Amino acid sequence: MAKEDRGFASMDRGKQKEIASRGGKAAHQKGTAHEWTSEEARQAGRKGGMASHRRKQEAGEPVSEVATEQNDTAPAADHAVSIAAVDETR
């Protein structure tokens, strides 16, 4: 039996979604579900973005200046302005 033929993998996507939804709702009712604070979400997003750009740099692809590590310490307001400036050039 192949791994892809067991458990959730053997179910259709709709059934998987239904079961996962029930699990999430139950966790919230029980009080054990994780709810992100805006600070946690910001840190997780920054960590993911830095990892993505690091992989691109290692592969030799050009990376925008907005997401470099030196800008990692910039205040959020300055960072938002930098992103807006990049978007205007597209």
Looking at per-residue pLDDT, the higher value among 17 and 62 belongs to 17
Confirm whether 23 is domain-assigned: yes
Q: Are residues 31 and 57 in the same domain?
A: no
42 plus 31 within the same structural domain:
no
Which residue type sits at 57? Q
Closest-CA residue to 67 (of 84, 87, 46):
46
Give residue 16's pLDDT: 93
Domain tally for the chain?
A: 2
24 with 63, same domain: the answer is no
Q: Which amino acid does the sequence have at 11?
A: M
More confident residue, 8 or 63: 8
Give the model confidence (pLDDT) of 34-89 as tens digits: 888 999 999 999 999 999 888 888 888 776 665 455 455 544 544 444 444 444 54
**What's the pLDDT at 78?**
46
Residues 54 and 68 in one domain: yes
Whether 2 is covered by a domain: the verdict is: no
What pLDDT is stored for residue 63 in this prediction? 65
